Amino acid sequence: MKKYVLLLCSLCLLHAQNTTLNAKVYHHSEDGYPTSLDPLQSATTYANRIVTAVYDRLFEYKYLQRTPYELKPCLAKKMPKISADGLTYTIKIKKGIYFANDVAFQSFRNPQGNGREVIAQDFVYSIKRHFDFRNSSQGSWLWRGRIVGLDEWAHKSKSKRYTNYNEVIEGLKTIDKYTIQIKLTKPYPQIIYTFATGFSSIVSREAVMKHKQRLRTHPVGSGPFRLTSFNRSKAVLEKNPNYRKETFDIYGDGYDENLHGFTGIKKLYGKTLPILDRVEIHFGSREQRWLSFNKKDGIQLSDIPKFALDSTLASKRSPRLKKHYAKKFHLHPHREAGLVFLVFNMEDPSFGYHPDKKRNKMNKALRKAIRKTFDWRERIDTFYYGIGEPFVGVIPPGIVGYSEFPKDSITRDVGGAKKLLKDAGWTSENLPLFVYPSVASITSNRFFKQIQGWLIDIGYPKNKILHREFSTFGDLNKAMKLRKNSMNAYGWGLDYPDAENTMMLFYGPNASPGANAANFNHPEFNRLFEKASLMPNSPERTKLYKLMTEILLEECVGIFGFSRMRLTAWHKNVIAYPTSEILNNFFKYVDVK
């Protein structure tokens, strides 16, 4: 009997070992550590990568579709039914979807803590959490002022110091167990994008009540994976056994043999998702990640860091790997979903608006002269290794609403800049102080030195070109929010793939401390923005965005723009097509050989 028991135990142990050995494990990497995995704070790419793997949203983006990005149902049964006036959205969710097993669901009748079914009320609860005065939501701006009664509910809760989640809100309620109804204060077609963000992830009330602050490190969702380990060096995701039956329709997700054939994704058609058993996400410096990536048993996907470009790439302008690397890795160069640019503070009378009409005209000429001295090609060659091309305006190519423009505003013209200054009456004596703000760093100082050299080229006195260094990004950001900087240089990552998400950066009511760091307040631009915000994507709306871009260019609100190129490489034993920031989760589509 003892021998039989020992033999049985040995067989069980061997089976467990074989199961582990045969498990499909993918080693991912991120160059930042997420401080919170609660959807309330999923404002970074690092957090969203995990949040969108653990939680469901109503909608998600088609995995392979890029230009343009396209939504598809996730927890929703199909795309929403929208009323003729564009104000009411009715969304049915799938039946038989369950949260992952967790102690939050334990009870006398459910001692195992089996996850319960996800219902429409869970979505309503999850959105309400963003407007609970006790929470520090970073995503409430997506719905503020948009949904009937939601802001009023939040205000009443704050004034009474009590949040009643059971109170019905007219614009955010359920029709039945599986049907959600959302009523808007005014038409806002982009609302659909907000329900694909990590902020809209569907949380259970039981998990929030059980884990409270621990939800930041112990997420409980109904997504394809569940988090089993999390620390500052690594996060581990394992396949969620409760996940619904879902197969990979590569053609429905935008498969194109010419674009995706090299990845081997065609072999995944019809596979049950997720394909992987475990995902290990490693956090670390670029140096550590690159060293690990070049090992057979290390991480399997990484952006190519700047210090490795010369040794890795055979060509930069049209990025491709050297033969040695091309044998081992795939490469996917892709434009970031966002842009880097500079804006003038239009409330600063030295460069922006001025009550005196003559000086106001002079300031406009000064802004245009500074734009003409800016050399995007040199900036890209110096700081981005020559990879990428600038574009006109603030709507990146590939984003819904983009239009082509003449290249004048991104072409350096020293002679033209000097003429503008002279014709406007500017001299070395009356030019205002130009103060460039940045966080103190070697790279930022190089940015400043480059701009300083360009300005000197057009006659700007060196003693009038200053560098204001802040000890932290928080200090720099605070000065920007308080409107203390004459100019601001920063990057903007899109929250959703629509031109509105960049045009909002120049909408008057969004002025600092809002997203409009330029403090631009132009009546016609504001009118066009408000008109466009009520319209679905269409040629008519694109025309409005083109007019708005022309206003930004004519008023010379800033110097834009450039979207950095991401150079993502991955081992050839991994079948994947790496996503940009907007798509977030792609783990459920990944396979390893």
| Token couple for 88 | 């009411």
Half-sphere exposure in the Cβ direction for 218 (13 Å, CA):
15
Name the token pair of 346. 């239009």
In sequence order, the 6+-apart residues with CB closer than 8 A to the CB of 69 are 61, 62, 400, 497, 582, 583
Each residue's pLDDT tens digit, 254-297: 999 999 999 999 999 999 999 999 999 998 888 889 999 999 88
Average pLDDT estimate for 557-585? 89
Angle at 168 between CA 166 and CA 171, to 5 degrees: 140
385 or 371: which carries more pLDDT confidence? 371
| Residue 131 and residue 221 in one domain | yes
Cis peptide before 561 (omega within 30 of 0): yes
- Dump pLDDT digits (tens) for 43-58: 888 899 999 999 999 9
- Please indicate, yes or no, whether residues 351 and 379 belong to a single structural domain of this protein: yes
Whether 17 shows a pLDDT value over 50: the answer reads no
* The amino acid at 120: A
One domain, residues 244 and 352: no
> Which has the minimum average pLDDT: 120-134, 307-321, 359-373?
307-321
One domain for residues 52 and 165: yes
Q: Which long-range contacts (CB under 8 A, 24 or more apart) does 421-426 make?
A: 421/365, 421/366, 421/369, 421/458, 421/459, 423/365, 424/361, 424/362, 424/365, 424/366, 424/369, 425/362, 426/362, 426/365, 426/366, 426/369
Based on the domain organization, do 105 and 189 belong to the same domain?
yes
Query: Residue 12: its pLDDT value, please?
Result: 43
Q: What is the pLDDT of residue 15?
A: 38
pLDDT in tens, 478-498: 999 999 999 999 889 888 889
- Predicted pLDDT of residue 20: 54
Nearest to 200 by CA among 179, 184, 174, 223: 223
CB 116 within 8 A of CB 99: yes
The H or E element that residue 315 is part of is strand 313-315
Pairing of strands 88-92, 172-176: unpaired
Residue 559's DSSP bridge partners are: 342
What does the pLDDT read at residue 21?
A: 61
The CATH number of whichever domain residue 526 belongs to comes to 3.10.105.10
| pLDDT higher at 208 or 306 | 208
> What domain count does the chain have?
2
CA distance 509 to 514: 8
Give the pLDDT confidence of 391-404 residue by residue, as tens digits.
Answer: 999 999 888 899 99
Split at pLDDT 50, 70, 90, the class of 580 is: low
Residues 90 and 149 grouped into a single domain: yes
Does residue 250 sit in the same domain as residue 370?
A: no
Residue 13 pLDDT more than 80?
no
Helix (H) or strand (E) holding 27: strand 25-30
The pLDDT of residue 16 is: 40
The DSSP bridge pattern shows strands 434-439 and 465-470 to be parallel
Helices 357-373 & 414-424, crossing angle to 10 degrees? Answer: 170
Q: Is residue 336's pLDDT more than 90?
A: no
Q: Do 240 and 367 belong to one domain?
A: no
Residue 570 lies in a domain: no
SS3 category, 268: helix
Mean pLDDT confidence for 135-145: 91
Look at residue 395 in the predicted model and tell me its pLDDT: 94
Q: Is 1 a domain residue?
A: no
Residue 1 scores a pLDDT above 70: no
Give me the pLDDT at residue 66, please. Answer: 85
The predicted-structure confidence for 181-193, as pLDDT tens digits, reads as follows 999 999 999 999 9
- Rounded Cα distance, 306 and 319, in Å: 13
The pLDDT of residue 583 is: 75
Q: What percent of the chain has pLDDT over 70?
A: 96
Residue 9 falls inside a structural domain: no
Residues 84-109: pLDDT tens digits? 999 999 999 999 999 999 999 999 99
Tell whether 11 is covered by a domain. Answer: no
**Using omega within 30 degrees of 0 as the cis cutoff, is the peptide bond preceding 73 cis?**
no
* More confident of the two residues 255 and 477: 255
Mean pLDDT throughout 312-326?
A: 92
**Domain coverage including residue 369:** 338-563
- Total Cβ atoms within 10 A of residue 322: 13
Q: Tokens representing 341?
A: 């640019």
pLDDT digits 0-9 by tens, 206-259: 999 999 999 999 999 999 999 999 998 999 999 999 999 999 999 999 999 999
Mean pLDDT of the chain: 92
C-alpha distance from residue 426 to each of 109, 419, 554 (Å)? 81, 10, 19
CATH number for the domain harbouring residue 144 = 3.40.190.10
The C-alpha angle 351, 388, 568, rounded to 5 degrees, equals: 125
For the chain, the residue count is 593
